[in-house]
Structure 1
Amino acid sequence: MKRGSKGQASIDMFLKKKQKSGEDEKGADTSQPDAETAESYSIVSTTLLTQPMTTDAARGYVKESTGGRKFQEKWSKEFTWVQYDPEKDAMTCSVCSWALANNRVRPGVKNILDGQEKKWIEGFNSWRKGMYAIQKHNESSHHNECLSAKLNEDGSQDMINTICRKSVKSKEENRRGLKAIFDAVLYLARQGQSLRGHTEEESNFKQLLKFCSKYNQEIKGWINRPSKFKWIVPEIQNEILNQSCHEILRNLVKKIHKSKWYSVIADETADISRKEQLSICLHHVDDSLLVHEDFIGFYSVETTTALNIFNTIQQALLSLNIDIQMCRGQSYDGAANMRGHISGVQKRFTEINPLATYVYCAGHQINLVVQECFSQNHHAVTALEVLSCVVNFIKGSPKRFSDFSKINDDATKAKSHAAACTAAYRVTAVTSQLG
């Protein structure tokens, strides 16, 4: 027998039994059906659970109430656990009915189904609240627990996509909403813009989402949804930034592992909050012989002793799973704690890895050379002092700065005009020679 005919036969058998026992057994206790009736009910529940009620099966059974409202076939198509009983002119939940009949629920859920949610077992026919009641029951925890028990019993992945169609759609919307939030956070981070403002509503992050919502209805629906889970609070923003940072570091480490050998560049400096920080970069060459210098982060150091700085560098490499024995070079400034040949950072590094050759940072060397050259040149020192005084004089007054800006604009226009006249003269001269 085919699956559809078997389901229809089960429905007919169930309806005949209900017709026989409907009028004659009004006073009997029908809360515990006999084994045959329970078996038939289980077959009907399972059939309708796995195969939604078709139009042909539902046509002719749906009764219209006196108020003009009735059961809608689209409810059983969208929520396949909805089962319509034409005898009672009511709908029930086939999933909860199955779980309760087969004792697949916890005592707490059983009390709920026997109490406030008993209408979904015996029959619900308040058609005015039909769709609202279905959606509320579909999102309830006791229904989801019964659904999980049914899915575990059947072991069918296809049934999840059939019964939880609304849940799957909600997951897709959540993913798209989260992707938009990720894009907004990463865009502001890429442009170096702050995410927050004086208030959360006036922050760059919220305003960017509002701007995008003008052209994207999904984003608009997401930020205007009544749910409190929108993933736009500052804690989520920080988590997104941290996860993005870790992903960038993982990609950089993969490239360094592929290059195999690398060099370490480190320098310490104080930030605006007067906290000492150590910046670390890794220098490596890829298979195409292209040189890469990747910044891997700032690391806070309490003291600038050679031992503390060396331990910070070593810990940073270990946290990124980078072998310190693969290091072939180290470059720092000329401070004693960095280049010291007795207890400096470079000396401690070479004690662990003798192949990590120390190189005095060229940038620091050039800076020292330029300072020394200017200190020995009286005219250069005088020129810089005069220039510094002129800049301070102009910036010291808004009026003087405004006058200087006008003079600068006039000079720029005059220079552009002179260049244009010179170019036109040259074109004319060349044209006359060719003509």
Structure 2
Amino acid sequence: MHTDDRSDDTHPNACTHTEDTHKLNRTSSMQASATTYRLFVSQNIKSVSRALASDWLNRLEVVVNEKTVDIFPTDQYLDHIPAMIEQLGIILESENSELSMVNSVISHKALELGRLRHTQKATISQLLREYDLLACVLADYQLRSIDEFEGNAPLREVLQVSDIINSIIRLIQQYTMDAFTESYMATIEKQTDKLASFNRFVSHEIRTPLNGALLGVELLNESDELTEQQRTDLEHIRQSLLEAASVIDNVERLVAIDQSDPVDSPLRQNLPLTPLITDLCRQLSGALQTRDVSIHVPDDLGEIYLETSRLKLFLSNLLSNAIKYSDPQKQSRDVWITRKDHADGSLELNVRDNGLGIPEEQLSQVLGMRVRAHAHLDDTHSVSGEGLGLYLVAEAMRELGGTVTLESELGKGTSVKLVIPDMLH
């Protein structure tokens, strides 16, 4: 915890800053007639930089609900704001303000503050408010300086000073935000690397025994000595193992979701939709039979130019959801897949079912991570999930520049429309 034992006349958070400001302004105003308004302001700003910083810090504590000591834990950081305000006064003195704004003191201290605020887990909105407050403090000071200045303060010069001050605040804000964003992105990259490492571990350490167990189930199924009940039990085991493998697939896709391929990626190709969907249906045959669901696929859905893995990500998650959340009370449980081509070259795939449907109040949430509309039915309807399926579809579509639209009515079913942009152009 930082303890500041400096005296009030040097501490930037001193409560006497307003009196100091007026005293300095009154002293300087005696020479106003021989001084331009701009020079008058620059001299005073340099003299009262700590008082102005104190004013800013006092307002800041109220607005961001943080103590000064939590924002600036050491004297080194606490001195940054008055130092930058002092540099502002120096810039105002310069004949070429635009050139003098390339100021190493301001840039260095603003960059340091950006990195500091990132370590303190500040938000971008907080940073913006902080510098808005600093601009307000300096604007208030300039208004007081006009009253104190006894010479002629031409409107043009007043506006010029105001413009320079605002430009410097924007410059400080830009440096701080650049450092904050750079630190933030570095943290994201580090977290992504950790997630990728974890993903590789999961893939190797868990998928291998899962594949071994699946192979064992297939070998047992080849035996002629199994009863029907044993075969049914083995199929349940197989489905559970496939569910576990699906969770691992979702983790892998979640890690790779932002690693999108370039437009001319060799991974993309013209894929015939009907054969690919038919193959997915074969993979889901166990779940289809268990829930007595029929998937209706047109004889020829044409082709789509896309990566196979991404298309399977879309369709496998949507079909799996349609099967899991079919309505057991309905005599016929169906899923329909249709295609529509748009004039701009984009393609619309629609996966529609007559299942349980999604409550209206949850419709806007189900594209989020780990959101499940029917988690309360896990026991009664024998369903399970991680709440990642629709999230992965939405994220993958976002990376493509496409859209996902959900329409649903509780008790009647759900329609998911994917509009995939033309990837050939």
Larger Rg: 1
Q: Which protein, 1 or 2, shows the higher relative CO under an 8 Å CA cutoff with sep ≥ 6?
A: 2
TM-score (norm 2): 0.28
**TM-score normalised according to structure 1 size:** 0.27
